Chain A
Amino acid sequence: METINMNRRSFLVTSAAAGGGLVLGLQIPFGMTTAQAAETVPEINAWVVIKADDSVVIRVARSEMGQGTITGLAQLVVEELECDWSKVSTEYPTPGENLKRNRVWQSFSTGGSRGIRTSHDYVRRGGAAARMMLLQAAADQWKVPVNQLSVSRGVITHGASGRKVTYGKVAAAAAKLTPPDAKAIKLKDPKKWKVAGKPMKRFGTVDKVTGRQVYGADLKLPGMVNATIMECPVFGGKLKAFDAAKVSGMKGVKQVLRVGDTAVAVVADTWWHAKKALDGLPVDWDYGDNVKVSSASIADVLKAGLDAPQAFVGNKTGDVQSALKGAAKTVDAVYSYPYQNHAPMEPMNATARYTPDKCEVWVPTQDGESSFAAVLAASGLPADKCEVYKIDLGGGFGRRGAFQDYVKQAVLIAKQMPGTPVKLLWTREEDMRQGRYHPVMQCKLTGSLDSANNLTGLHMRLSGQSILASVRPAVVEKAGGKDPLTFQGVAQSGEHSIGYSFPNLLIDHAMRNPHVPPGFWRGVNINQNAIFIECFMDELAHAAGQDPLEFRRKFMADHPRNLGVLNAVAKGIGWTKPAPKGRYRGLAQMKAFDSFVAAACEISVDSTGNKVKIHRIVAATDPGYAVNPAQIERQIAGSFVYGLSALFMQECTVKDGRIEQDNFHTYNSMRIAQMPRVESIIMPTGGKVWGGIGEPTICVAAPAVLNAYFKATGKRIRTVPLKNHGIELV
């Protein structure tokens, strides 16, 4: 028997979505006023739709970009739902629907390695609530107490009578029940997981390998036209004028349009025609003063910051200055890290259709809600006249989340051609020139050793660019001018806390912000901070005449999980045994995004010192919980593709105020033959906090290899990429 309350009645009246379905608000209950309901497909709650044929659709708000988050999140829902995994598919709710339903799916943001770790709780509760409603519906039908029922893989059984019914048969009735209090639901102990925690195959792989998957770049809508764009290549510059007449007669060209103050776009029948016309378009830019800036001038500014009196303190213990004064020996070194671009395989794109009554956008995005906000701002239409349809991403890496410039551009173009769908697809060159780059940073490290070669103090002075000062100045303002994100991996506390306890420590940041727009590049500030701290730990160990592993361990007694992963990789690589002849080892560890990671590698270097072969990498991760170990393993391996490409090959240089690299021939990525064997150790140790997977491991790739390179050659490399030193990965 169902219980009907007024809330639900009023919902049923006003709702239109999935078949008299209930929206289970979880932390934000009952926000729906305009939810649309179909009559035939029972939505058990916001997360779960069950069809009469027992197929199950799990709604996932986070975006899939190859990291496997959709599969992992579906596993968590299914674990509690107890349906048949083989009948599960997934779909994205739209940001517009989320807003209408009082953000029932909560955040859509897919960045910061947060997909699973910040939503595991509410998606599992969503699955559990749906299971309870389905069981109750069966109990009502059979008129038996619900606690006499059991369920396995979507089949409900009444043990005493032997009756069975599938989820699909009771879904419609379940959808009419009052949802249980989500907060009161007791979730399963992860130790008892049957679907979560298992190496389930990723959704969508067949479509991807057979080319059936439609990416944003492939999208075709009826009557669609194609656009490409060029924004002023000097950041901060403006569009003065362009001579449309020169290209408007070219084949297929429909429009040549100003887009905001800074860009010009060509719209044509095909993308290639648009590109050819844009290539031939005379454009007059107002470059502004930034045209004088170069990599060298930026480096000078950062260098001055290394000794500047003013700096924001990020981490401090004891009195470093006294330790340095009283040192028997000091060690110092200056490191630097360049600009890098995300360079996803699929360039930025969005497809928009605008009329004064409706603006719709189809876009690969790391945050559907951010895209939606960009559509609202660019279209000028109210929220109920806008919608965003998310498409799986052909790579994101942080470019497609906090920055929705390409979405705004698409809408601004479509607005000038009402009623016509416009696909805006950037050229590779535009994607290289208009990145939101990994920030530049220099770092001066000074360590003090006493006469017994004990480390007594460490000063780490960062000088360089703040991402948040550019992207979220309100956060910097709140922190009194400091960018707390700069200290990722070496912070005093939190998800990026340092993995060592030193007697005297000072980590400070002289903020120097060049005009190049910075962004969140997969791993963000852990990438440079891991090189700085982990290579310098090796330098200190060397100066102290100690083994790098033993030296580190002295400061890790209070960091058992950091130590756990470090020990695991040391054991895995065979640290205490001699390396095979001609091979050399290096290691590194870090806590990032609430996961603990370490890597140890074994390399050989040819007699010139210029060719590096990585034979093995052992990588350990303690993310607290492992929702899909197979996906984690692939993410770890993929992290080395990204991290080693960055280490050996990737740098964006600045000349005349603009980025010089314009395609993969000048901004390269490693190839499969260069890929080392990666042996991953997944060692979740539980606890209250779940860690992320997508980013942490990247940062340990570079320092592990650089430390091994020193072992092999006696040379310390303190600037990357290694191509600048004539060193290549073979």
Chain B
Amino acid sequence: MNSFDRRRDFLKTAGLAAGGAALVLPALASPEDMRAALTKITGGADVRRGRVKLQLPPLVENGNSVEFSVTVDSPMTETDYVKAIHVFTEKNPQPYVINAYLGPRAGRARITSRTRLADTQTVHAVAELSNGTFWTDSVSVVVTLSACIGDLI
């Protein structure tokens, strides 16, 4: 799979940056406010790759309204379900895109929405499971910077 190598590199880098801990996401999250936003959600708990699938086009025209979906591999039963799905961006003025709270009666662990993307950047989805673990996926998106505004972005 295409993203596998990148993920491995990512884990390696993240490992170095985070002193070998499994705290994957903050190591990549360049802007401080996104790191802070994530910590607020996780309370500093480990965030692991897997179980979450963030779907977002690799190229978007202008970023003004970008459709995305987050699907979590979960049976959504009374004892094993997704409590919340959070989406963050690195370069938007606000790191938060959405905090969606789910329960077993949601039936499916999937959300779709639209967001504005201020620039070419990586978007992260984090799922909080009923067992207290956090899982993540991320996608790099190119906002094609058309026409006459290249150096303003």
Contact = CB atoms under 8 A, between A and B. Distances in A.
A326 interface: no
A119 to B, nearest CB: 11
A118 interface: yes
B147 to A, nearest CB: 4
A366 B59 contact: no
Nearest to A470: B64
Nearest to A594: B151
Contacts of A524: 148
Main secondary structure of the interface of B (DSSP, over half): loop
B148 A520 contact: yes
Instruction: Place the interface of chain A in its size category.
Output: 35 or more
Contacts of B132: none
A376 B68 CA distance: 12
Contacts of A369: 59, 142, 144
Interface stretch (A204-212, A472-480, A548-556): A472-480
Given A107-B145, A111-B147, A402-B147, A377 B116 contact: no
B64 to A, nearest CB: 7
Interface string B1-35: 01000000000000000000000000000000000
B119 interface: yes
Nearest to B63: A474
B116 A474 contact: yes
Contacts, number: 101
Contact of B149 (A112, A372, A376, A404): A112
Given A369-B59, A372-B59, A475-B152, A109 B147 contact: yes
B67 A112 contact: no
Interface in B119-153: 119, 142, 144-153
Instruction: Place the interface of chain B in its size category.
Output: 20 to 34
Contacts of B150: 109, 112, 114, 118
Contacts of B84: none
Interface string A484-497: 11000000001100
A114 B92 CA distance: 26
Nearest to A100: B2
B50 interface: no
Nearest to B153: A475
A377 B62 contact: no
B93 interface: yes
Contacts of A99: 58-59
B64 A473 contact: yes
A95 B145 CA distance: 14
B119 A109 contact: no
Given A33-B2, A473-B116, A370 B58 contact: no
B127 to A, nearest CB: 22
B117 interface: yes
Contact of A475 (B2, B142, B147, B149): B149
Nearest to B59: A373
A472 B60 contact: no
Interface of A: 33-34, 95, 99, 103, 107-109, 111-114, 118, 366-367, 369-370, 372-374, 376-377, 383, 398, 401-402, 404, 468, 471-475, 477-478, 484-485, 494-495, 519-520, 524, 695
16 contacts: A109-B147, A111-B148, A366-B147, A373-B59, A376-B60, A377-B67, A402-B62, A402-B146, A468-B152, A473-B116, A474-B63, A474-B117, A474-B119, A475-B153, A520-B148, A695-B148
Given A377-B67, A398-B148, 20 more contacts: A107-B145, A109-B144, A113-B148, A114-B148, A370-B61, A370-B144, A373-B60, A373-B61, A373-B144, A377-B57, A383-B57, A402-B62, A468-B152, A472-B153, A474-B92, A474-B93, A475-B118, A478-B118, A519-B147, A524-B148
7 smallest CB-CB distances across A and B, nearest first, come from A111-B147, A112-B148, A474-B118, A402-B146, A402-B147, A401-B147, A373-B59
